[in-house]
Structure 1
Amino acid sequence: MSLSDWLDERTGHRALLDRWKGAPTKGGGSFAQVWGGVTALCLLVIVVTGILMMTAYQPSATTAWSSVHYIQTKLSLGWFIRGLHHNGAHFLVVLMVLHLVRTTVFAAYRKPRELTWLLGLALLGLTLAFVRTGYLLPWD
């Protein structure tokens, strides 16, 4: 018995995945429907790279710049991880705005999705706050 079989026996995740994979997309698939998933993927990249950078970053006014310099120049692939994180933050804001515009244009904020719309607006505000505070961390 494999780990997947053991997990399926207790959770039934295979049946759920099969049902989810077979579900048709309302209105068919289109390019306009990818923005939510791409935004979530970008957020995942930012979280993972943020955790990786957190291992070497020192959040103090006297050591912040030197720890960022260490990440950029000495840490293996640190420049790449920081670049992904930095550019991903900019890209995330653009993607969230595109998703917001798409939701507005297609009137996807109407009943029964009004709570999803409000949650999305709150997440946009929270993301903008995190992006703003993230710009201050290198202290440059």
Structure 2
Amino acid sequence: ILGSTETGELQLREDNIGLFASCDVADPEVIEKANKGELRGWSFGFYSCADEWKDADDGMQHRYLKDIDMSEVSILSVTPAYIATSIEQRSDQEKAFERRSYEDESQVVKETAKQEKKEKNDEDEEEKRALISRYKHEVEFLKMKGGQYNEK
């Protein structure tokens, strides 16, 4: 555990972007990863007490969290589930960097749309194969009947 709101090392508040978390970190391993630029973002563990789902114009569903119970906040050196987080490091000399991942988020949306399109194309191809197979069977059946087709 790097910090806690109860002991004061971790501060959480809502700002104009969303959840703001600030943590005074003393762990040497985390500091080293920060100095190397290896930290990727935050992960927030929570339970949804009230949310709302809406269909967007782009066909995607958007989830709006109305009320949550936060259980934990983690600093990650791997890509977080919600990649539009940012992380900033400050030292005594006010050396700072910030990592924003909005481009990555749009990439995930593009990849998701691409995957959905591929799945749709796969379904269409499967449907086409089934129709072709059915027509081939009908042709064979017609050949066996001497080429006469009687619609029932």
TM-score, normalization by structure 2: 0.26
Bigger strand share: 2
From the two aligned structures, give the one with the greater helix fraction.
1
Please identify the structure whose Cα radius of gyration is greater.
2
